[in-house]
């Protein structure tokens, strides 16, 4: 029932969002551009952690979110998934009840942090803020 209501209310908007990917040229440029120390510092002030990745010289951005309940957490993940599809940049994440843990890195650039990770993290922050209001 809930899925039916959501698909009726938001179906057209969701479909158009997913099918309207950003230009591959801009994505490719962001994917190759390493994240600036200033942009990473800004994300750290918002609660993101710059962590070492699995290999030497690799990094990832991580952040945990807590929501009032499972439905809110799942709704947040759905909104992030739509944006990830638009950017063609998908997070590593997990969900346990009302918690969502997210990790971002650019695999194509040797698991380093790029401007695309920063853009994705900024959008995730925006989505989390919209949900809280």
Its domain, for residue 35, covers 2-132
Over the stretch 33-74, which tens digit does the pLDDT of each residue have? 899 999 999 999 999 999 987 788 889 999 999 999 999 999
Q: Domain with 45 in it: what CATH number?
A: 3.30.1360.20
Q: What is the pLDDT of residue 133?
A: 63
How many structural domains comprise the chain?
1
Query: Has this prediction a pTM greater than 0.85?
Result: no
Q: Are 44 and 121 in contact (CB under 8 A)?
A: no
Rounded to a whole number of angstroms, the distance between the first and last alpha carbons of the chain is 25
Above 50 in pLDDT, residue 18?
no
Over the stretch 67-114, which tens digit does the pLDDT of each residue have? 999 999 999 999 999 999 999 999 999 999 999 999 999 998 889 999
Query: What six digits make up the tokens of 40?
Result: 């990473």
């Amino acid at each position: 029932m809930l899925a039916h209501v959501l698909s009726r209310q938001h179906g057209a908007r969701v479909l158009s969002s997913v099918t309207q990917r950003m230009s591959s040229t801009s994505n490719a440029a962001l994917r190759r551009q390493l994240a600036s120390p200033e942009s990473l510092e800004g994300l750290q002030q918002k609660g993101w952690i710059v962590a070492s990745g699995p290999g030497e010289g690799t990094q990832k951005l991580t952040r945990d979110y807590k929501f009032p309940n499972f439905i809110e957490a799942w709704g947040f993940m759905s909104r992030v998934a739509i944006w990830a599809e638009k950017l063609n940049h998908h997070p590593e994440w997990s969900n346990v009840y009302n918690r969502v843990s997210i990790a971002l890195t650019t695999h194509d650039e040797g698991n380093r942090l790029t401007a695309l990770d920063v853009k994705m993290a900024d959008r995730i922050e925006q989505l989390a803020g919209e949900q809280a209001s």
